[in-house]
Structure 1
Amino acid sequence: MRHRHVGKLLGRSYEHRKALYRNLMIALIEHRKITTTLAKAKAVQPEIEKLITIAREDTTHARRMALSKLNSKVAMRKLFTFAPQDYGGRNGGYTRITKLGPRLGDGAEMAVIELI
């Protein structure tokens, strides 16, 4: 039974999964759109949504919380430049996942996750 088990494991250890989410979030903030597998896109979507919600208010505490999640000052600064203007009046739903179809090499379902 999966009682109280939240999120996908993605076949990785906790540390590897945390690093994967961090790298995906940094890439999404820097490029506004990334192509990845559907499972990874679905796994990182709640994390980036929470991060954007934190970044909507530009306070020192919010910046420190975002930096603890991202570990990249460049990405954190970029997030705090566009998040308050683009998402200030929006109550969620900051990202969109679009399915692309299977990858040629191994047949993994691919998707594009982008900031709206």
Structure 2
Amino acid sequence: MGFMHPCSISASDPVVVKTAVRPFGCKHSAALFPAHHKLGAMKHRYSMRKLGRTSAHRWALLRNLVSQLVQHERIETTVPKAKELRRVADNMVQLGKEGTLAARRRAASVIHGDGNLHKVFSELAFRYKDRAGGYTRVLATRVRQGDAAPMAYIEFVDRPNELRESKPPVTPPPPRVPLPPWLQSRHARCFAPEDSGL
């Protein structure tokens, strides 16, 4: 919803008086905004969902979830947590495919347990060697009874007993056949700039 001019607000709308502050602390006259209009609510440069937690609590949650996902290869959680977990899990598989010592140390700072770390760098890296991305999928399942939170399964693709068959990895398109020389010169003359002299 864009800015509403004060004259377009009806008498029945609840309104909020907002005094805007200019740079250097100079105030100007108050303006009226409808109560449902969120002031300054742009979503630019939001790096991730907050999940109702502090930064340390959020990263502890994601580290636990990605470790459990690597161990069990399918877990059930809420939809926002699953969508954030998908990014972290795909990054861990990408580090596993790199296979360097630096990548192993970066993954060890996120994944709990030596067994899970070994699984990322051996089993999962081998499984997804031909896949360029999209190592996990999120499938909405149900609404949790206690608080009506939407739940979802997040699982690795191309695994045994997966909930839905995955699409095969995309193969690159065949290389383009070059134009014959006589057509190249004609093509160059037709599409050359006017001042090029062709």
> Which category describes the TM-score, using the shorter chain as reference length?
over 0.9
Q: Unaligned regions of 5+ residues in structure 1, if any?
A: none
- In structure 1, what residue type is equivalent to 2:63? R
Q: Residue 54 of structure 2 aligns with which residue?
A: 13
Q: 2:70 aligns with which of 13, 25, 29?
A: 29
Task: Provide the rounded CA distance (Å) in 2 between the counterparts of 1:58 and 1:4.
Answer: 31
**TM-score when scaled to structure 2?**
0.56
What is the SS of the residue equivalent to 1:99? strand
- Which is bigger in relative contact order (C-alpha 8 A, separation at least 6)? 1
Bigger Rg, which one: 2
Shift, 1:71, TM fit: 4.0
What is the SS of the residue equivalent to 2:109? helix
Q: Alpha carbon RMSD of aligned pairs, Å?
A: 1.1
Per-residue displacement from partner, 1:70-116 (whole Å, max 9, x unpaired)? 24322111211212210011000100111002011111000000001
Q: Which has the higher helix share?
A: 1
Task: Provide the rounded CA distance (Å) in 2 between the counterparts of 1:71 and 1:31.
Answer: 13
Q: Percent identity?
A: 39
Q: 1:96 aligns with which of 134, 137, 152?
A: 137
Q: Unaligned regions of 5+ residues in structure 2, if any?
A: 1-41, 158-198
Match status 1:74 vs 2:121: no
Match status 1:50 vs 2:91: yes
Q: Residue 105 of structure 1 aligns with which residue?
A: 146
**TM-score when scaled to structure 1?**
0.94
